[in-house]
């Protein structure tokens, strides 16, 4: 079974990464006016899926780097890996704002009320989520470069 672990970990890592990207796309599509109880609930659920997927990507990614692939030394000497990791962390930091905002809606949602959200807040949420999606593009490029050994130093 041990020989299957690298393939299985790669599969789980990629599946979670696609879930993460899909969740961002859904969040971006849902963050429009008028906000309804249902769309706010969907945003909360989608953001939870995003967080779960990000956690899986991170944990499986660390396991792959340390145990199932070429080893930490190889990856720490890869510029695309370092940029990819930086972009992943930046996306994670950016995601704090939407997550905190959506969690703040829970009290209203439990009472079946539409959360009171200003146009400015929705606009800021759209910009942050859009930026997260934009940062995924160079992250994917770095993943492809890294996988082919380009950028080793």
DSSP, res 151: T
Tell me, yes or no, whether 152 lies in a domain: no
Structurally, how many domains does the chain consist of? Answer: 1
| pTM for this entry | 0.91
Tell me, yes or no, whether 17 lies in a domain: yes
Kindly state the greatest CA–CA separation across the chain.
56
Which domain, by its residues, includes 82?
A: 2-147
- Residue 69's SS3 state is coil
pLDDT at 32: 86
Tell me, yes or no, whether 26 lies in a domain: yes
The span from the CA of 79 to the CA of 85, in Å, is 10
Tell me, yes or no, whether 153 lies in a domain: no
Tell me, yes or no, whether 30 lies in a domain: yes
pLDDT at 2: 57
pLDDT at 147: 87
Both tokens of 127, joined, read: 């910009």
Tell me, yes or no, whether 66 lies in a domain: yes
pLDDT tens digit at each of 153 positions of the chain: 457 989 999 999 999 999 999 999 999 999 987 899 999 999 999 999 999 999 999 999 999 998 888 888 889 999 999 999 999 999 999 999 999 999 999 999 999 999 999 999 999 999 999 999 999 999 999 999 998 999 998
Tell me, yes or no, whether 74 lies in a domain: yes
């Amino acid at each position: 079974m041990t020989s299957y672990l690298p393939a299985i970990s790669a599969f789980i890592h990629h599946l979670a990464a696609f879930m993460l990207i899909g969740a961002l796309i859904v969040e971006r599509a849902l963050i429009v006016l008028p906000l309804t109880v249902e769309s706010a609930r969907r945003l909360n659920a989608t953001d939870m899926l995003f967080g779960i997927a990000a956690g899986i990507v991170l944990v499986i990614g660390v396991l792959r780097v340390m145990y199932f692939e070429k080893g930490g030394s190889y990856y720490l000497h890869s510029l695309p890996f370092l940029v990819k990791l930086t972009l992943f962390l930046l996306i994670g930091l950016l995601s704090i704002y939407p997550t905190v905002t959506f969690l703040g809606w829970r009290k209203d949602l439990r009472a079946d009320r539409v959360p009171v959200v200003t146009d400015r807040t929705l606009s800021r949420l759209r910009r942050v989520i859009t930026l997260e999606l934009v940062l995924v593009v160079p992250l994917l490029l770095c993943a492809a470069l890294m996988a082919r050994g380009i950028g080793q130093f």
